[in-house]
């Protein structure tokens, strides 16, 4: 997508590199990036982004500053930014507001570009070419310099400034032919050299990029149509032969190409060539998405953004992507749209998504719904009575992120107060459990009040720091004190209401026992409450082998405790980190 240079209005733009989105233009002196909806650039539902993560500010002198307020921190050109410290950012600086090695697919980064500098670069293209052409003509017209000497000087300058190219040898050959077949007084025919144009050439078609795409992780770029033809033969990069993990639009190169062709229309492809390339482009929007989001958007209204500007289909599993799930009990329902299944030959695994909900006129329950209801766990409530309401023809629907069944999104004003909550108060994802009882496979109550959170049987295996050894200590203590899992939850939420305990989302959300949370958010916050309960257990009520252990200097943040049983048993991890503090 081309950037727009509108002086006096937009002064900069940010280009996100983690996803195929057009540049975001900036026209305010200060913008805020974060998870909350009041941010100028919002990332709703991303747990790694703070509510108000960072700001970009331009002072009266024109200097641009980046200030980070986040919990996890941000990176500027690969270096960590000190919290709340202003740091100057310049044209083409890269900012990573999410960078996690354990969740590589969740990285969020953008390139900051000053539109004034970008416009000057576009002008520089034309000035550079005019300077080269004028210089060559002046040398050739000098009476004291022979044509053959002028050609030698021009070629020497071209090679010294830009290296060997395909245009240099061609110019030399044409000059030699003209000397042999014509008089020595005739000017040699020299092709103008443009190093910037050379950088905008596709290595496959050897022409200016058209609809440029970049391959990851090698970042080599090609025309979308050119790479589409190569893609049919190999899944490796045509240049370096590395395996291609993802394809993404290269908006920076596309912007440079548009600016270059505007100044040099003679390099533009013909309309017929452009139509042919567009028809050969086989790279779909689904291929441009990260792997964990491919195939989630069917060609129906459910994949479109709702009125709030956010998509309600964000995960194929009941709560979140299975690779990131914290709950060993939770098994999400599998969903694959027909376009995805037909493309990769998984049509036998497809479960079609209905086009209307159970409140729509003439609703027919899907055949898969009966199978799902028969396998639903005992913890999932299936006896909730749906609201007395019939959907209108223009009713907006959203998908439950657990069972992937549609449900109404907008209700009449007279019914708003009586309709149960449909979204988690933390991640804002939609679920149908409180509305009419979710039938998702393995659902334990995908949306509920925190105090009514249904703890799975296997949750306590890694309830403390994902550490099986520390979790067993808590489990044995509860068994000795005749405290069941439900009693522990009630004790913890009472401490939460009295402000004795806190949650991991306390910085951005005021969570209490009445807060409506999805299963994933409730489990994450309950683990923090259980840790605080374990921390408050008197040492004399625990076995001697437990309280005589030395503290691990990484404390509760130790990663080894999760994978090394010997380390977990030898050191106490119910403590704060002392390393580097």
DSSP secondary structure string for all residues of 500-531:
SS--TTTTT----TT-EEEHHHHHHHHHHHHH
Q: Which of 441, 453, 440 is nearest to 521 (CA)?
A: 453
pTM as predicted: 0.44
Question: Measured between alpha carbons, how far is 191 from 166 in angstroms, rounded to an integer?
Answer: 11
HEC secondary structure over 250-319: CHHHHHHHHHHHHHCHHHCCCHHHHHHHHHHCCCCCCCCCCHHHCCCCCCCHHHCECCCCCECCCCCCCC
Q: What is the CA radius of gyration of the chain?
A: 31
Q: Which of 384, 374, 381, 431 is nearest to 406 (CA)?
A: 431
Residue with structure tokens 């050969």? 280
Question: Measured between alpha carbons, how far is 477 from 543 in angstroms, rounded to an integer?
Answer: 9
Residue with structure tokens 């108060």? 425
CA distances from 127 to 131, 164, 314 (A): 6, 22, 48
Indicate the angle between helix axes 251-263 and 115-141, nearest 10 degrees.
Answer: 40
* SS3 label, residue 302: helix
Indicate the angle between helix axes 147-162 and 167-181, nearest 10 degrees.
Answer: 170
Report pLDDT for 364. Answer: 66
Report pLDDT for 522. Answer: 93
Q: Which of 20, 53, 45, 564 is nearest to 314 (CA)?
A: 45
Q: Are 451 and 525 in contact (CB under 8 A)?
A: no
Determine which helix (DSSP H) or strand (DSSP E) holds 222, and give its type and residue range: strand 221-223
HEC secondary structure over 86-141: EEECCCCEEEEEECCCCCHHHCEEEEEEEHHHHHHHHHHHHHHHHHHHHHHHHHHH
- Is residue 387 exposed (0-12), middle (13-18) or buried (19+ Cβ within 10 Å)? middle
Report pLDDT for 276. Answer: 87
**Number of alpha carbons in the 13 Å side-chain half-sphere of residue 269:** 19
CA 244 vs. chain centroid, Å, equals: 18
CA distances from 67 to 402, 440, 506 (A): 38, 43, 22
* SS3 label, residue 442: coil
Q: Strands 93-98, 550-551: parallel, antiparallel or unpaired by DSSP?
A: unpaired
Report pLDDT for 105. Answer: 64
The answer to whether the Cα torsion of 114, 115, 119, 125 is positive or negative is positive
Residue 111, phi then psi, degrees to nearest 5: -105, 125
Q: Which of 82, 92, 87, 85 is nearest to 23 (CA)?
A: 92
Q: Are 513 and 493 in contact (CB under 8 A)?
A: yes
Residue with structure tokens 């009445």? 514
Question: Measured between alpha carbons, how far is 577 from 580 in angstroms, rounded to an integer?
Answer: 8
The answer to whether the Cα torsion of 555, 556, 561, 565 is positive or negative is positive
Query: Please, what is the end-to-end C-alpha distance for the chain in angstroms?
Result: 46
* SS3 label, residue 76: strand
**Number of alpha carbons in the 13 Å side-chain half-sphere of residue 14:** 23
Q: Strands 64-68, 86-88: parallel, antiparallel or unpaired by DSSP?
A: antiparallel
**Length of the chain, please?**
581
CA 71 vs. chain centroid, Å, equals: 18
Mean pLDDT by 10 residues, the chain (581 residues): 47 81 87 90 85 92 91 87 89 86 74 86 60 41 40 37 39 45 42 66 87 90 90 86 88 90 87 87 80 51 39 36 40 37 38 68 60 41 76 87 88 88 92 89 88 84 92 93 92 94 91 94 94 93 90 92 92 91 66
CA 186 vs. chain centroid, Å, equals: 60
């Amino acid at each position: 997508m081309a950037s727009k240079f509108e002086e006096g209005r937009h002064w900069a733009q940010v280009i996100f590199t983690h996803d195929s989105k057009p540049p975001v233009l900036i026209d305010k002196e200060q913008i805020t990036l974060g998870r909350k909806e009041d941010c100028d650039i919002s990332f709703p539902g991303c747990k790694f982004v703070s509510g108000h993560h960072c700001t970009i500010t331009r002072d009266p002198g024109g200097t641009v500053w980046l200030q980070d307020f986040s919990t996890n921190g941000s990176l500027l050109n690969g270096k960590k930014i000190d919290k709340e410290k202003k740091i100057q950012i310049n044209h083409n600086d890269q900012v990573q507001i999410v960078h996690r090695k354990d969740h590589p697919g969740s990285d969020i980064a953008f390139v900051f570009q000053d539109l004034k500098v970008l416009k000057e670069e576009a002008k520089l293209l034309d000035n550079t070419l005019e300077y080269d052409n004028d210089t060559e003509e002046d040398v050739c017209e000098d009476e004291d310099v022979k044509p053959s000497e002028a050609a030698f000087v021009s070629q020497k300058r071209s090679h010294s400034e830009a290296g060997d190219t395909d245009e240099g040898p061609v110019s030399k050959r044409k000059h030699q032919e003209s000397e042999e077949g014509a008089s020595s007084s005739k000017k040699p025919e020299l092709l103008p050299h443009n190093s910037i144009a050379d950088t905008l050439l596709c290595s496959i078609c050897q022409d200016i990029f058209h609809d440029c795409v970049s391959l990851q992780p090698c970042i080599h770029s090609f025309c979308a149509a050119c790479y589409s033809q190569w893609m049919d033969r190999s899944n490796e990069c045509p240049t370096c032969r590395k395996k291609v993990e993802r394809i993404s639009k290269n908006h920076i190169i596309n912007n440079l190409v548009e600016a270059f062709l505007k100044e040099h229309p003679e390099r533009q492809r013909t309309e017929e060539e452009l139509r042919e390339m567009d028809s050969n482009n086989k790279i779909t929007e689904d291929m441009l998405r990260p792997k964990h989001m491919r195939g989630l958007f069917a060609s129906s209204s459910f994949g479109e953004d709702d009125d709030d500007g956010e998509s309600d289909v964000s995960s194929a599993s009941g709560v979140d992507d299975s690779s990131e799930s914290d709950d060993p009990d939770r098994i999400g329902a599998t969903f694959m749209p027909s376009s995805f299944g037909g493309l990769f030959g998984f049509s036998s695994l497809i479960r079609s998504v209905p086009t209307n909900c159970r409140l729509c006129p003439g609703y027919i329950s899907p055949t898969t719904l009966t199978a799902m209801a028969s396998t639903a766990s005992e913890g999932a409530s299936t006896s909730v009575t749906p609201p007395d309401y019939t959907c209108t023809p223009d009713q907006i629907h959203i998908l439950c992120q657990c069972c992937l069944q549609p449900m109404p999104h907008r209700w009449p004003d007279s019914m708003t107060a009586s309709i149960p909550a449909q979204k988690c108060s933390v991640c804002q994802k939609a679920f149908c459990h409180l509305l009419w009882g979710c039938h998702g496979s393995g659902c334990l109550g995908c949306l509920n009040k925190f105090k009514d959170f249904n703890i799975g049987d296997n949750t306590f295996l890694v309830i403390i720091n994902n550490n099986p050894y520390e979790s067993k200590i808590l489990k044995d203590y509860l068994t000795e004190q005749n405290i069941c899992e439900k009693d522990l939850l009630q004790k913890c939420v009472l401490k939460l209401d009295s402000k004795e305990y806190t949650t991991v989302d306390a910085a951005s959300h005021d969570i209490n026992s009445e807060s409506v949370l999805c299963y994933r958010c409730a489990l994450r916050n309950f683990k923090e409450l259980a840790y605080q309960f374990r921390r408050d257990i008197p040492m004399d009520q625990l076995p001697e082998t437990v309280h005589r252990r030395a503290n691990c200097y990484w404390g509760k943040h130790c990663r080894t405790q999760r994978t090394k049983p010997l380390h977990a048993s030898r050191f106490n991890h119910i403590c704060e980190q002392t390393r580097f503090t």
